[in-house]
Amino acid sequence: MPDPTDDVWQVLSTARSIRRFTDEPVDDETLNRCLQAATWAPNGANAQLWRFIVLDAPEQRAAVAEAAQIALQSIEYIYGMTRPAADDESRAARNNRATYELHDRAGEYTSVLFTAFKTEFASEFLQGGSIYPAMQNFYLAARAQGLGACITSWASYDGEKVLRTSIGIPDEWVLAGHIAVGWPRGKHGPVRRRPLSDVVFRNRWDPERADITYGRGARPRGGPDA
């Protein structure tokens, strides 16, 4: 159900993670607009030490499907997830069904792998500031055009080895992130987030509001891959 918009505030406030897609393929023109937006992202010294790899050939889609199933095992453990019963219509069950569908059908979708060149000058975490804005630009451009997108963890865990081998990525490039993209089966947003009063401090650290209980069985708002 495409819902394009040029209103930047609507884009920002309705860019939910979409996990259910139609069978309609994403055309090259629409995908390329997302990729172009990714190249406009800020990055250190404008060095553009990134490469974006579109995964839509049968062999690479099969690798994505394998990586998704590997990631699902970790996600189930981390979030204490199981496949919901057929008659469970709770919000958690609906969210979990969408998550399982995304992983089960991973090999059917076009997706993009975002890689960054390793440098000797900074940690990978710090270098993330030069690749993750590109992912966000891609993600928001997808939403603006009515596409659905979901940032996944499939290039992590042992799925990294699967994708790296299938695509032929050398060791000096970091697999920074992965986004599945397609035409949504359903609607965008609005997103659900904590109020500003929970997350914004002014001048001093607030230990009470900073207390976060997180572990196995705990599910942060938004769920896995949110």
147-177 confidence digits (pLDDT tens): 999 999 999 999 999 999 999 999 999 999 9
| Predicted TM-score (pTM) of this structure | 0.91
pLDDT, tens only, 117-158? 998 877 788 889 999 999 999 999 999 999 999 999 999 999
The tens place of each residue's pLDDT in the chain, 226 residues long, gives: 578 999 999 999 999 999 999 999 999 999 999 999 999 999 999 999 999 999 999 999 999 999 999 999 999 999 999 999 999 999 999 999 999 999 999 999 999 999 999 988 777 888 899 999 999 999 999 999 999 999 999 999 999 999 999 999 999 999 999 999 999 998 998 999 999 999 999 999 999 899 876 433 444 444 444 5
Q: Per-residue DSSP letters for 195-222?
A: -HHHH--SSS--TTTT----STT---TT
Instruction: Kindly give the residue spans of alpha helices, DSSP state H, lying in the chain.
Output: 8-14, 28-39, 58-79, 91-104, 124-127, 132-144, 159-167, 196-199
> Maximum CA pair distance of the chain?
54
Which pLDDT score is estimated for 158? 95
- All structural domains of the chain: 23-199 (3.40.109.10)
pLDDT of residue 1: 56
pLDDT at 211: 85
